[in-house]
Amino acid sequence: MACLGSRLLTCTRSAIIARVEATTPDTSDEPGPGCEAFHPDLVSAKTESLRRFFVGRDPEPQVIEEAEREEELNDAFAVELLRKGTFPATAEEVMARLDDAVGEGQPLSAATQRSFVVAEGSQIAKDPSRSFDRRFRFVVTRGQGRDGADLLLSAFDPKSTDIEVMAWDDRKGGFNYYRTIGGAPGSWVWAGNSRHAWEPLTRGSGPFEAHPAGHFIFKEFKFPWVHWQGPPARIDLLDFAKDDDRAAHAWFANSQGAYVLEPLAGLAIKRWNRRRIEQVRDSGQIDDPRQFMERFLGSPVLQRSTVNLVSSTTTNGELSDVERVNLPDTFFVDGDVLEGVLELERPDGLSVAADVYRDVLARFNVVVRNHDENHPLNGEAPFERPGDTHFVFVVPERAVEDTDFLRQILKPTPEDGESGLSAISQRLAACLLMVDFPNPVFSKRREQLLDHVQTEPLLAQAWPEFSETLGEKIAAAAAGESATEAEVEFAKLWEAGEDGWHDAAAKLLAAYYEKLGEQLKSPEGVEGVFMLAEARRRRVRRMPIAETALLFAQSNISFDEGIEEFVMKPAGTVERRKRA
C-alpha cells in the first residue's frame, strides 16, 4: 500500500486538478490519475458510507447496489463490517470493530494481528528534540493461514481517519482495495480489486498507480529491509519526536521486525499471482499480451513500472570501521530470476573498498535531506545530514512480484497449487531477459522488444506456439536492415537453440562478472557505479512509490534525464551517453 502519504499531501489543489485533468485517459492505454484523485478537494466525502470509486472509470464515487456488493465484496472486511453497515472512522477502530465482529479462534481474530512500522526518517536522527517528520507508517495485518494475511491495513497513525485496507476475496480472487476519502468519518470507497490493475480503464490509475499489478507493496522486501523496524535497525523511542503519541501505542510497542512481514508479503504476492494465472487460464486468453510481457521486460509507462529497493548491509555510520562495503548483486544483474528461474549463476559477493566509497560520497556531496524537487517542505522543519542513507547504496531491483510471476509461469510448484502457463518457454524468457542483462531494471533496450508483442488478445490455442513465433519474429527482425541492438542481442542467444541458450548465457554472465569484479576495484569503476545508481534512483523518485525525499540520499550529480542516460556495459563499465 503506497497511496497513502504519496504526493497528495504535498500537492496544491490547482496542481492536483491540473494533473488529474492532464492524465484523464483519452485512450484505454493511458493511465488515469493516481491517488490524488482521492484528494478531499476533488471528491465529496460521505460520512459512514461505502461507495465504489474506480479511478479511470468512475467520474466520482458511485452508489454500490446490493447485488454488486454481494457479487463483488466477499472479503472478510466487507463481509464482517462494511456490508453490515459498520464504517470505522479511524485505523485503530477498524481493528476494534473487527474484534467486535469476529470471535476468538476465527481467521481474523485479534490473536492473528501483527503490526509493523516503517519510517524513512528513522535511524538518521535519533533525537526526540528534532521535530522533522520521520514519515512513520503502520502496517497491521490480520490472518495467519496457509496463504498468509487476509487483511492488510496501512495508516500514518492509529488514530488517523486516512486509512487504506486490502482484503483478500477468495470468491472473485484478488485483493479488494478500500480507503477512506475526504476526511469525513467512515467515508469509505471500494477503489478496485487486484484484477482491475490489469484492465484497460483502471490500470495505472487510482491505487493501481502504486500497485501496477494489483499486489501488496512491500518495496523494501529484502534484508536489511531498509527503513523498516527490525533487528538490523530497530526503530525506538529516540526516533520519535517529543510528544508523539504514536510512540506509546500498542501498534508500535508490539511491532514486529520486517523479517516477519517478508514472508507475509511473499505469501500475498504468491497468492495473487497464482490466482491471476488461474484467471488467465480460465478465461482462455491473455487479454493484453503486452501488459503481460511487461512483467518480463519492464514497462515504458512509469505507472506500470515495478521495482523493489535493496541496499548494502553496511551502514553509513560504520563506513569508517569496515574495509569493504557489500553491494546487492541485483543492482548489477537480475540475480533472483537468473538463479531461481533460469538456473544460471549469480555473482559471488560483490563489494567495494570502504575508503573508496567514502571518497565517492564526499566527491558527490551526498546528503540525506527531507526535501527535494518532488517533495517540498510545505512548512515542515528541514532536515539534512551529510552522508548516505542509514544502510548505504539503496537502489532499485526487479520487484519480487515480477520474479514470482515469472517463476510461477516457468517453474510452478503444483503441490502448492501453482499451474504455470505454457505460453512462455524457458528459452524465450532467457533470451528476452538476457538482452541488456547488465541493466536489470529500467532497460530501454529490453522495453523495445515489447513492440514485437501483439496487442490483440492471445487465445489459448495459440499459446503453445507463442514462444517460438515471438522468438522467430524478433530473430527475423534482427536480420533486417533496420535491426536494433536489442533484436540483434536477442537473436544471438535465440540462435543458440533449445539446447544451447543456457551455456551461451552462462558464458556471457561469467565474462561480465569477471570484468565487473575488476572494475569494482578501481575508484573510477566505483564512481561510475555510483552515478548509475543515482540515475536509477532518480527514475524511482518520479514513481508513485517514492513517498518522501528521505527514501534515498541526494547528490550533486547533474544530468538531464530527458537527454542523457547511464548504462552498465558487459565490460563492467558505466557509460554516460545521449539518449537514442
Partner 1 sequence: MIRPPGNVARPSQEWSDFVRDLIRDALHGDEEKNVTGALEGAEPAGQPTPFYDPVKEPLEASEVPVPWPALSGTLRALSHLSEEERWEIADGARTTPAVRQSGEQLTGPDGQDLFGQDEYCEWSVERNDAGDIVRVTFTTEVGEWFKHLATTDPVGLLELYRELAGENVPESEVLAENGSYVGWNADMNTRTDGPIVHLAQGSNTLGAAISLAAEASILRTRDGSIVRDHKVLMRCTRLGNPDRFSDPSIASTINAAAATGARISLANPPGLYLAGIRTEGMRLPAGHEDLDPQELWIPERGSDGRVVRARFEAPDGAFPLSEVLLDGNPIRTGAQLAERVDVFIVALVHDAQTEPLTKACAS
Q: Which C-beta is closer to partner 1: that of 226 or that of 350? A: 350
* Nearest distance, CB of residue 489 and partner 1, angstroms: 26
Of 574, 579, 527, the residue nearest 555 (C-alpha): 527
Looking at residues 437 to 456 of the shown chain, list those that interact with partner 1 (rule: CB under 8 A): none
Of 57, 70, 288, the residue nearest 169 (C-alpha): 70
Q: Which C-beta is closer to partner 1: that of 123 or that of 187? A: 123
* Interface segment toward partner 1; rule CB under 8 A; list 21-29, 210-218, 231-239, 482-490: 231-239
* Interface segment toward partner 1; rule CB under 8 A; list 140-148, 158-166, 482-490, 527-535: 140-148
Virtual CA dihedral for 122, 142, 198, 444, nearest 10 degrees? 30
Pick from 9, 20, 201, 238 the residue near partner 1 by CB under 8 A.
238
Is the separation of the CB atoms in 432 and 490 below 8 Å?
A: yes
Tracing cell 561480465 back to the chain, one arrives at: 512
DSSP result, 378-415: TTPPP-EEES--SBS--EEEE-HHHHHHHHHHHS--GG
Helix (H, G, I), strand (E, B) or coil at 462: helix
Q: Which C-beta is closer to partner 1: that of 58 or that of 404? A: 404
Cell numbers for 296, please give them.
518480463
* Interface segment toward partner 1; rule CB under 8 A; list 200-208, 309-317, 430-438, 467-475: 309-317
- Interface characters, 398-437, with partner 1 (x: CB under 8 A): ---------------x-xx-x-------------------
Q: Which C-beta is closer to partner 1: that of 151 or that of 546? A: 151
* Nearest distance, CB of residue 419 and partner 1, angstroms: 13
Helix or strand holding residue 192 (H, E): strand 187-193
Cα distance between residue 183 and residue 89, in whole Å: 9
Q: Which C-beta is closer to partner 1: that of 305 or that of 316? A: 316
Pick from 15, 63, 96, 237 the residue near partner 1 by CB under 8 A.
237
* Interface segment toward partner 1; rule CB under 8 A; list 35-43, 151-159, 316-324, 356-364: 316-324
* Nearest distance, CB of residue 346 and partner 1, angstroms: 6
Cα distance between residue 439 and residue 458, in whole Å: 29
Pick from 256, 279, 426, 522 the residue near partner 1 by CB under 8 A.
256
Angle between the 426-433 and 501-519 helix axes, to the nearest 10 degrees?
Answer: 30
Cell numbers for 74, please give them.
466477499
* Nearest distance, CB of residue 338 and partner 1, angstroms: 11
Q: Which C-beta is closer to partner 1: that of 316 or that of 548? A: 316
Looking at residues 337 to 396 of the shown chain, list those that interact with partner 1 (rule: CB under 8 A): 339-340, 346-350, 390
Helix (H, G, I), strand (E, B) or coil at 458: strand
Q: Which C-beta is closer to partner 1: that of 212 or that of 328? A: 328
* Nearest distance, CB of residue 210 and partner 1, angstroms: 24
* Nearest distance, CB of residue 394 and partner 1, angstroms: 14
Cα distance between residue 64 and residue 69, in whole Å: 6
Q: Which residues touch 352 (CB under 8 Å, ≥6 apart)?
A: 324, 325, 327, 520, 526, 529
* Nearest distance, CB of residue 79 and partner 1, angstroms: 21
* Interface segment toward partner 1; rule CB under 8 A; list 65-73, 226-234, 436-444, 538-546: 226-234
**Residue ranges of E strands in 37-171:** 49-52, 62-63, 114-119, 136-142, 151-155, 164-168
Helix (H, G, I), strand (E, B) or coil at 294: helix
* Nearest distance, CB of residue 147 and partner 1, angstroms: 7
* Nearest distance, CB of residue 141 and partner 1, angstroms: 10
* Nearest distance, CB of residue 238 and partner 1, angstroms: 5
* Interface segment toward partner 1; rule CB under 8 A; list 132-140, 213-221, 294-302, 325-333: 325-333
Looking at residues 143 to 182 of the shown chain, list those that interact with partner 1 (rule: CB under 8 A): 144-149
Is the separation of the CB atoms in 251 and 114 below 8 Å?
A: no
* Nearest distance, CB of residue 146 and partner 1, angstroms: 5
* Nearest distance, CB of residue 139 and partner 1, angstroms: 15
φ/ψ region of 284 (left if φ > 0, alpha if ψ in -120 to 50, else beta) reads: left
Q: How many residues bind partner 1 (CB under 8 A)?
A: 52
Cα distance between residue 437 and residue 512, in whole Å: 10
Angle between the 258-283 and 400-410 helix axes, to the nearest 10 degrees?
Answer: 50
Helix (H, G, I), strand (E, B) or coil at 174: coil
Of 413, 161, 82, 374, the residue nearest 270 (C-alpha): 413
559 binds partner 1 (CB under 8 A): no
* Nearest distance, CB of residue 416 and partner 1, angstroms: 4
How many residues does this entry show for the chain? 580
**How many degrees, rounded to 5, is the angle at CA 234 between CA 230 and CA 239?**
135
Q: Which C-beta is closer to partner 1: that of 66 or that of 321? A: 321
The contact set with partner 1 (CB under 8 A) reads: 123, 126, 144-149, 222-224, 231-234, 236-238, 256-257, 259-260, 263-264, 266-267, 270, 313-318, 321-324, 326, 328-329, 339-340, 346-350, 390, 413, 415-416, 418
